[in-house]
Amino acid sequence: MGSDESQKALDTIFSFVPTLVLKSALLLKIPDIIAREGPEASLSLHEIAALLPTQTPNLHYLSRILTYLSAKGIFIQSQANNEPSYALTNTAKLFFVNEKNPFSLVPVALMQSDEVLQKSWHYLHESVLHGCQAFEKAHGKDLWSYGKDDPHVNNIVNDCMASFTMMGMAQIVNCYEGFREVQSMVDVGGGKGTALGQIVKAYPHIQGINFDLPHVVATAPSIPGIQHVGGNMFESIPSAGAIFIKKVLIDWDDESCSKIFENCYKALPENGRLILAEDVVQNHSTASESLEMVADLIMMAHANGGRERSEEEWKKMLHNSGFPLVKVVGLPGIFTKLKIVEAIKMKTE
């Protein structure tokens, strides 16, 4: 076995290290500390340490963390006055929030590195052997039930979903013309109302209902033009002229999605619109590693049989749930898989 193969094997084995070291820096809020001094600021090791929430920081450990993350492209390390100093790379600017940088990946990083969420990855082999769900095997209940009983998990999941929701919303709001014709709309699985808030801000004539589990909407902020409603999408959905669902159905198996679609059909008036913002993938898969593959495995680790689907699969499920007229609208931008799948409830004879 050659050295290249050995190196690839070792890189794979230790691929967990960057995520968990990054988590330590985020919990210490090191990107925020540097960002507060200005976009081009460079702080010395002692200056960063002085702003940590402790009187006795360990400079040796801090230096090792910052040096490693500099090698990974998170910070820029330089030398001044015989002491290392650190500045932010463009990548690091995704790991803090201020008025000039409203989008942050911190919630995503904290959720994916959380001990509760990471535990389910240790049970992927059980999914293969027994067809069980990894998270439920690890914790005795699914993620949503776990979050109901654990405020910490509830908060990190909701914050992560809100962060992911912001990804692609600009393209959706700017490019999908169907919102102009909508008077009232319910966002199913809307979390804290992040997506619906963006839509109503752009189309203030829309009366919005943010619909999610009661313990989820209980933590949702007040948003002008939006009413937060708690409930269960598998039981019933509030009535509105249109229903919007973004990146929710990827968490569920086909049977569960079909039940959601049936409840959407019942909640819509004739000619009402079901607007899905979901990934639409090709029918074939490749063996090249990509973020798409990672997302699919995250569904295995955390979701209830969820997966990505092709255009044909979306249309088949919607047709079987009573929506004969379905079209897929592409969106520009970096999220090439994200599409609008629009279904109309036709007048029945």
Read off the CATH number of the domain in which 190 is found: 3.40.50.150
Does residue 339 share a domain with residue 212? yes
Does residue 332 share a domain with residue 251? yes
Whether residue 288 lies inside any domain: the answer is yes
| Residues 119, 139 contacting (CB under 8 angstroms) | yes
Q: Name residues whose C-beta falls within 8 Å of residue 110's C-beta, 6 or more positions apart in sequence.
A: 23, 26, 27, 156, 159, 160
The predicted-structure confidence for 1-34, as pLDDT tens digits, reads as follows 578 888 989 888 999 999 999 999 999 999 999 9
Task: Give the CATH number of the domain where residue 75 resides.
Answer: 1.10.10.10
Sign of the dihedral defined by the CA atoms of residues 186, 105, 24, 139, in that order: positive
Q: Could you give phi then psi for residue 141, rounded to 5 degrees?
A: -160, 160
Residue 334 has a pLDDT of 53
Residue 285 has a pLDDT of 55
Tell me how far apart the alpha carbons of residues 230 and 212 are, in angstroms, rounded to a whole number.
Answer: 5
Residue type, position 195, single letter: A
Tokens of 279: 């990934």
Q: Name residues whose C-beta falls within 8 Å of residue 333's C-beta, 6 or more positions apart in sequence.
A: 168, 170, 171
Q: Name residues whose C-beta falls within 8 Å of residue 90's C-beta, 6 or more positions apart in sequence.
A: none
Residue type, position 282, single letter: Q
Domains held by the chain: number = 2
Tokens of 202: 């752009």
Q: Among the three residues 83, 99, 115, which one is the final residue of a domain in this structure?
A: 99
Which band of pLDDT confidence, cut at 50, 70 and 90, is reported for residue 245? very high
Whether residue 264 lies inside any domain: the answer is yes
Q: Count of residues for the chain?
A: 349
* Parent domain of 171: 164-344
% residues pLDDT > 70 (the chain)? 93
Does residue 320 share a domain with residue 210? yes
Does residue 69 share a domain with residue 177? no
Which band of pLDDT confidence, cut at 50, 70 and 90, is reported for residue 309? confident
The predicted-structure confidence for 66-108, as pLDDT tens digits, reads as follows 999 999 999 999 987 888 999 999 999 889 866 555 678 899 8
Tell me how far apart the alpha carbons of residues 172 and 180 are, in angstroms, rounded to a whole number.
Answer: 13
Residue 259 has a pLDDT of 96
Does residue 170 share a domain with residue 80? no
Whether residue 113 lies inside any domain: the answer is no
Whether residue 126 lies inside any domain: the answer is no
Tell me how far apart the alpha carbons of residues 127 and 34 are, in angstroms, rounded to a whole number.
Answer: 43
Tell me how far apart the alpha carbons of residues 90 and 119 are, in angstroms, rounded to a whole number.
Answer: 31
Whether residue 340 lies inside any domain: the answer is yes
The predicted-structure confidence for 168-204, as pLDDT tens digits, reads as follows 788 899 889 999 999 999 999 999 898 999 999 999 9
Which band of pLDDT confidence, cut at 50, 70 and 90, is reported for residue 346? confident
Does residue 307 share a domain with residue 209? yes
Q: Among the three residues 48, 67, 99, which one is the final residue of a domain in this structure?
A: 99
Does residue 177 share a domain with residue 85? no
Indicate the pairing of strand 83-88 with strand 207-212: unpaired
Whether residue 275 lies inside any domain: the answer is yes
Whether residue 144 lies inside any domain: the answer is no
Does residue 92 share a domain with residue 176? no
Does residue 199 share a domain with residue 327? yes
Q: Among the three residues 99, 124, 143, which one is the final residue of a domain in this structure?
A: 99
Q: 3-class DSSP state for residue 15? A: coil
Does residue 199 share a domain with residue 299? yes
Residue 102 has a pLDDT of 61
Whether residue 80 lies inside any domain: the answer is yes
Residue type, position 97, single letter: V
Look at 76-85, 157-166, 279-288 and tell me which has the smallest mean pLDDT.
279-288
Kindly report the pTM of this predicted structure.
0.75
Does residue 227 share a domain with residue 83? no
Tell me how far apart the alpha carbons of residues 339 and 159 are, in angstroms, rounded to a whole number.
Answer: 23
Tell me how far apart the alpha carbons of residues 327 and 342 are, in angstroms, rounded to a whole number.
Answer: 5
Does residue 208 share a domain with residue 332? yes
Confidence check: pLDDT of 159 > 90: no
Q: Which of 175, 170, 136, 142 is nearest to 157 (CA)?
A: 142
